């Protein structure tokens, strides 16, 4: 056991844990952040995805001691009590069935849109491809990503207009 310090959703935490512990268990069991989920422990399904330094990262295979940089979890996406546009798009499209994998879908899509604000269908398929859903909500996820991209670009255009005005 040793002390490690993590910055998660803007807050610093110092914990006394085995440094090889995968980040997922610390987030879920010690910090009470249960948006990220255990799906495989092998980095194959994406249910555990968090964002570290802008990259979609599979927390189930990331030893806590190797994390350098700020972690964002699903709980940290909403700002000022307002859902991230992607989360809103997920509700508008009524995406989830069981919903268990949707943490990974939303977090992976967030990073995809950060990189490709107006993704092509091919970029969506490629960017999301290793994020699995056993309810097979993929068709709606892809629709929600397109909707979210439009909401984000509309918001950006609106804020530019405000600046100009």
Contacts with other proteins, residue ranges (CB under 8 A)? 1, 18, 21-22, 25, 28-29, 33-35, 37-42, 44-45, 47, 73-75, 77-78, 83, 87, 90-91, 94-103, 106, 121, 124-126, 128-142
Instruction: Write down the least CB distance from residue 79 to other proteins, Å.
Output: 12
Residue placing its CB nearer to other proteins in the complex, 133 or 152: 133
Least CB distance to other proteins at residue 31 (A):
12
Nearest to 132 by CA among 49, 22, 24: 49
Per the CB < 8 A criterion, the answer to whether 62 and 23 are in contact is yes
Q: Rounded to the nearest whole angstrom, what is the least distance from the CB of residue 34 to other proteins in the complex?
A: 4
CA 5 to chain CA mean position, Å: 21
Burial class (CB in 10 A: 0-12, 13-18, 19+), 162: exposed
Nearer to other proteins, 33 or 159 (CB): 33
Provide the pairing of β-strand 49-52 with 71-72.
Answer: antiparallel
How far apart CA 133 and CA 102 sit, in angstroms, is 8
Name 125's Cβ contacts closer than 8 Å, sequence gap at least 6. 142
* Residue number with CB closer to other proteins (29 or 53): 29
As measured in angstroms, the least distance from the Cβ of 73 to other proteins is: 7
Nearer to other proteins, 79 or 164 (CB): 79
């Amino acid at each position: 056991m040793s002390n490690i310090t993590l910055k998660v959703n803007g807050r610093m935490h110092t914990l006394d844990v085995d440094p090889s512990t995968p980040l997922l268990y610390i987030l879920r069991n010690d910090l009470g952040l249960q948006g990220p989920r255990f799906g495989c422990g092998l980095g194959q399904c994406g249910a555990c995805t968090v964002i570290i330094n802008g990259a979609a990262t599979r927390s189930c295979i990331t030893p806590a001691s190797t994390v350098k940089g700020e972690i964002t979890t699903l709980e940290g996406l909403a700002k000022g009590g307002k859902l991230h546009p992607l989360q809103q798009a997920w509700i508008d499209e009524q995406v989830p069935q069981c919903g268990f994998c949707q943490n990974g879908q939303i977090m992976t899509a967030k990073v995809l849109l950060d990189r490709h604000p107006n993704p092509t269908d091919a970029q969506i398929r490629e960017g999301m491809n290793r994020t699995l859903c056993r309810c097979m909500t993929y068709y709606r996820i892809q629709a929600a990503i397109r909707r979210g991209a439009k909401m984000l670009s509309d918001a950006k255009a609106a804020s530019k207009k405000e600046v100009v005005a």
